[in-house]
Structure 1
C-alpha cells in the first residue's frame, strides 16, 4: 500500500486516476478547488487552490509520499494576435508555477519514500504545431523542460516524468467536444479514429507511478493515439 497525492483529483483524468489507484488499495490524498468532494474508502479529499500566493498547505499529507501527480490544466485556444500578455502569464502560473510550488512543498515527503515518482502533464501540441495553441504550447513546453531538469536533479530518489495526451474526453475539453457530432469529427482526425478517454491517460500515469517503471525518468510519454508521430 502506497501514499499518493493527486492534485486536481476531482475531475477528468485526475478523477479516473484516483479511482484506479483506490481500486488497488493505495492511500489517496486528492485535492479539489471547486465543488466539495466526499471522502470514500481510502480516498481523502482536501481543498487546495494552487494559485494562492502562499505556499500550499499540505499538513493533510502523511510524512512519506510515494507519488505526486499534478493534474490542473486549461485549454485556452485563441488566435495569437488576440492574446494578451496576462493570459500567457495566468496559464503559466497554473501549469508551471503551480506544479513547482506543490513539488517544492512535498519534496521532503517524496524523498523519504526513497523511490517516489512525480508525474506532470504536457500536450501533443508541444511536439506538433496546431493553430490557436500558442498559450498552452508555451506553458506545456515549459512543463517538459521542468520535467527533464527535475529528473536530473532529483535522481535517484525521485523519478520525474510527464504524459502528453492529445484531445481527451474530459470536462476540460467539454466546449471542444460538446456534442456527439463534434466528438466524432475530431476523433476522425486521430490515427486511432477516436478521441482519448480518461482511462487511456490514467493507465499511462499508473505505469509511471508503479514499480514497472523504476528505470524510467526524464521522459515525455506520448499517449495520443499516434497524433504526434503519424500522418493520416
Structure 2
C-alpha cells in the first residue's frame, strides 16, 4: 500500500530530489511556493507559502505517513553586520513556520501508522563556524524541538533531523559560483567533495522507510565527514 508523503518546499533542490526518489512507490504531495520542475513527476501539488499560508487550509489526505520540511536559508554574514531582523527572519522561515506546520498536521499524523517526520539542520550547529550565527541559531532550535517532539510523541510518530554540510543546490549557488570556490569547498571535507542533493535524499528515503523504524530523536550528519573528522 502506497504511503502519503508530504514534502514542504519540494519543487527544487533537496526537496525535489526526495520527490523523485519517492514518487514511483508513494503518493507524494508537494506544498511549495512554486511548481518549479515538477511537471515530469507523478505528484500532487499545492501552492503554499510557509510564511503566509495555513497548512490546515490545504486539501490533504486524512493520514500523512511522512512529512519532510525543506524550507531553509543560507545567510552567512559577520555577526557585527547582522541586525536583529535577520535573526527573526531566519527563525520565522526555519523554525516557527515548521512549528506551525507540524501543529496543523497533528490530526493527519495521528491517523497514520507510525509516520516519520524529517527536518533539516546544518553541520554548523555541531561544528562552530564563523559567519553562521543566525542560521546556526535557527537550526539549533530545530534540533532541540525535534528531540523533544520525538520524546513527547513516541511511539505515535518518529522525528529525525538531517544535518548536511554544503550541498550543491540552487540555495548554495553563491557559495559555489566558480570552479575555484567549488574546489576550495570540496577540499574542506574529509571525503573531498561537495554533497549532492541525492546524498541527502537517500538519507531521507531511509528515514521514511521501515528500515529506520527503530530510530527517532536523532540528528544525522550527512556532511562528508566534516562534523566529526579532523584530517589535519
What is the Cα deviation at residue 107 of structure 1? Answer: 1.1
Secondary structure of 1:174's counterpart equals helix
Secondary structure of 2:87's counterpart equals helix
What is the Cα deviation at residue 33 of structure 1? Answer: 1.1
TM-score (norm 2): 0.95
Give me the whole-angstrom Cα distance separating, in 1, the residues matched to 2:126 and 2:224.
14
Secondary structure of 1:113's counterpart equals coil
Asked if 1 retains the 8 angstrom alpha-carbon contact of 2:72 and 2:94, the reply is yes
Give me the whole-angstrom Cα distance separating, in 2, the residues matched to 1:174 and 1:31.
23
Structure 2 vs 1, CA of residues 19 and 137 (structure 1 numbering), >3 Å: closer, same or farther? Answer: same
- Aligned pairs for 1:29-44 (under 5 A) are 29-34=29-34, 38=38, 40=40, 42-44=42-44
Secondary structure of 2:46's counterpart equals strand
Asked if 1 retains the 8 angstrom alpha-carbon contact of 2:20 and 2:41, the reply is no
Aligned to 1:161: 160
Q: Deviations over 1:46-85 (max 9, x none)?
A: 1111001x53244321111100000000000010011100
Asked if 2 retains the 8 angstrom alpha-carbon contact of 1:58 and 1:106, the reply is no
What is the Cα deviation at residue 39 of structure 1? Answer: 5.1
Aligned to 2:76: 77
Give me the whole-angstrom Cα distance separating, in 2, the residues matched to 1:132 and 1:40.
38
Asked if 1 retains the 8 angstrom alpha-carbon contact of 2:121 and 2:162, the reply is yes
What is the Cα deviation at residue 36 of structure 1? Answer: 5.3
Q: Deviations over 1:210-232 (max 9, x none)?
A: 10011100000111010000012
Asked if 2 retains the 8 angstrom alpha-carbon contact of 1:70 and 1:119, the reply is yes
The number of residue pairs the alignment matches comes to: 230
Aligned to 1:5: 6
- Aligned pairs for 1:55-94 (under 5 A) are 55-94=54-93
Give me the whole-angstrom Cα distance separating, in 1, the residues matched to 2:68 and 2:151.
18
Secondary structure of 2:54's counterpart equals coil
- Aligned pairs for 1:120-135 (under 5 A) are 120-135=119-134
Uncovered stretches (5+) of structure 1, i.e. residues with no partner: none
TM-score (norm 1): 0.95
Secondary structure of 2:167's counterpart equals coil
Aligned to 1:208: 207
